[in-house]
Amino acid sequence: MATPHNQANPGEIAPRMLMPGDPLRAQFIAEQYLEHPVCYNRVRNMLGFTGTYKGVPVSVQGSGMGMPSIGIYSYELFHTYNVQKIIRVGTAGGIAPQVQLRDIVLGQGACTNSSYASQYGLPGTYAPIGDFALLEAAAAHARQLNLHWHVGNLLSSDTFYDDSNSTAQWQKMNVLAVEMEAAALYMNAARAGKQALCIATVSDLPLTGASTSAQERQESFTAMMELALEAIITEGD
C-alpha cells in the first residue's frame, strides 16, 4: 500500500484531509485540534497524522512547496489512499487592494502560470476551480466566526522570486492573492472525481512589502485552521 512518498498502511488515512504546505504546521494542527492524533508518515519528514475532530476522523499532512510537490502527494492520497476531500490550508501574498495581512481568502478559482494542465492534452485552457460544496461550507462558517475573509481567484505561481515582477498585472484582473499549490490540487481533484478547496491566510503583501514572521505563519494562523476543520466535517453531512 505504501507509495514512494508515504508509508501509511490501509485505513490509517481518513477520507477528510487538511493539507498545509509546511509539515510542522501539520504537526501543530494535529497536536492542537485533533483528538488522539497518530503519526502515519515520516518519509522525507513530510509528516502526516490522523485523529478525530469533534468525533469525525480527519487527517492532516504536509504537501511541501509548489505544484509538483502537492501534485505528487494529493495524487497519491486521492488514488492510493482513497481520500475524498482535501482542503489546503496555507499562506498567500495579498494582491488585490482590499486584501490585507491576516485576512483569509477562499480560493473559488486558481489562475496559474504553470503548464501543469498540459499533461491532460486538452484542446484549450482549463480553468481550475474549488469544489462548490466545500466552498459553500467554508463561507458559511466564515460568516459564523465573524472572520475578515474574501472569496475569488487565486494565482498559483511556479515562481516565488519572479524575475518578471508580474504580480501587478494579475491585480488588474482582481486576482486576490498569490500562492503556489491550489491549481494543481484542483486539477488532481477534478481528474480523480474528488473534492478540494484552498483556504489561505494572507502572510504578506508583495506589492507593499508588508509581511508576517515565519513563526507566525507556522503557528498562529489558527482562524484558518479552525475554519477548515469546521468546513471539512460539516460539508455533505
Q: Which residues contact 71 (CB under 8 A, 6 or more apart)?
A: 116, 184, 185, 188
Binding-site residues for phosphate: 21, 25, 44, 88-91
User: What CA–CA distance (Å, rounded) separates 51 from 233?
Assistant: 13
Mean pLDDT throughout 51-70? 98
- For residue 109, the cross-strand partners are 129, 153
* Binding-site residue positions: 5, 21, 25, 44, 88-91, 179-181, 203-204
Portion of the chain with pLDDT greater than 70, in percent: 97
pLDDT at 165: 86
Residue type at 208? T
CB 155 within 8 A of CB 183: no
pTM of the model: 0.96
Known binding positions for a purine D-ribonucleoside:
5, 179-181, 203-204
CATH topology of domain 16-234: Rossmann fold (3.40.50)
Residue that the C-alpha cell 489558527 belongs to: 222
**Alpha carbon distance 14, 77 (integer Å):** 10
Could you confirm whether 237 is annotated as catalytic? no
Distance CA 77, CA 90 (A): 18
pLDDT at 215: 79
The closest alpha carbon to 104, from 21, 183, 170, 179, belongs to: 179
Residue 217's pLDDT band, with cuts at 50, 70 and 90, is confident
Three-state SS letters, 2-15: CECCECCCCCCCCC
Average pLDDT, the chain: 95
User: Of 103, 131, 204, 237, which residue is the catalytic one?
Assistant: 204
| In the chain, where the domains are located | 16-234
pLDDT in tens, 26-37: 999 999 999 999
Positions of E strands within 84-209: 85-94, 104-112, 149-156, 177-179, 195-205
Predicted local distance difference test score (pLDDT) of residue 171: 95
CA distance 236 to 213: 36
- β-strand partners of 199: 89, 106
- Above 70 in pLDDT, residue 218? no
